[in-house]
Amino acid sequence: MEPGIGWFARHLHELGLKPNHITLMSFCCSLAAALSFVLVAEHPLKGISACILLLLSGLFDATDGTMARLYGEESHFGAFLDSVLDRISEILVYWGLVYSRLVDWSVGLAALSGSLMVSYARARAEQLGSEMKGVGIAERPERLLILAVAALIDQLNAGVILIALLSAITVLQRIKHARSTMVSA
Known catalytic membership, residue 86: yes
| pLDDT over threshold 70, residue 1 | no
Choose between 144 and 44: higher pLDDT: 144
Q: Which amino acid is at 98?
A: V
Cβ-based neighbour number of residue 161 at 10 Å: 18
Q: Cα-atom radius of gyration of the chain, to the nearest Å?
A: 17
Smallest CA-to-CA distance from 9 within 51, 77, 72, 85 is with 72
If you classify domain 3-181 with CATH, what class do you get? mainly alpha
Tell me how far apart the alpha carbons of residues 138 and 7 are, in angstroms, rounded to a whole number: 25
Confidence of residue 184 (pLDDT cuts 50, 70, 90): low
Q: Which residues are CB-neighbours of 179 under 8 A, at least 6 positions away?
A: none
Structure confidence at residue 153 (pLDDT):
94
Q: Quick one: average pLDDT of 54-67?
A: 96
| pLDDT over threshold 80, residue 183 | no
DSSP the chain: --HHHHHHHHHHHHTT--HHHHHHHHHHHHHHHHHHHHHTTTSTTHHHHHHHHHHHHHHHHHHHHHHHHHTT---HHHHHHHHHHHHHHHHHHHHHHHHTTSS-HHHHHHHHHHHHHHHHHHHHHHHTT---TT-SS--HHHHHHHHHHHHHTT-HHHHHHHHHHHHHHHHHHHHHHHHHHSPP-
Q: Which residues are CB-neighbours of 153 under 8 A, at least 6 positions away?
A: 47
Q: What is the pLDDT of residues 63-92, one digit of tens each?
A: 999 999 999 999 999 999 999 999 999 999
Kindly report the pTM of this predicted structure.
0.92
Structure confidence at residue 32 (pLDDT):
97
Q: Tell me which of 61, 64, 82, 86 is the catalytic residue.
A: 86
- The values of phi and psi at residue 78, to 5°, are -60, -45
